[in-house]
Amino acid sequence: MYFVDNNYSAIRDFTAGSSDGEMLSLADRDFAADAGTFEIVGNDLVVHHNLSSFPVLGSMTFTCTMEDDSTLILEPQYDKMVLPGLDIKPSEDGQMGYGDMAVKYVFKRMD
């Protein structure tokens, strides 16, 4: 993910890891990309998808924490995901059903 002013762009590699450590060719990898604007609301980062390889546009909310002055940690809040036209809601126990897909993103400052 790249953040510049109030805009962001992201490319995600969803390719499962290889048990033999071999890298797959780019043609055999599973990527998704999106770009748009973002806002900070309290300790949350909300990205608004303006262009996406996903089937719908919407928004995603992440909890933001700083590990140190140069390390940002983003944790997706799937229960706050907004995808117009898709009825995706957490179950009664609060689970979104993504299992191992739930991740924590760790970013290092590059400037």
Confidence of residue 88 (pLDDT cuts 50, 70, 90): low
Chain segment 41-76, per-residue pLDDT in tens: 999 999 999 988 776 788 889 999 999 999 999 988
User: Residue 20, Cα to own-chain centre: how many angstroms?
Assistant: 27
CA distance 30 to 78: 21
pLDDT, position 110: 78
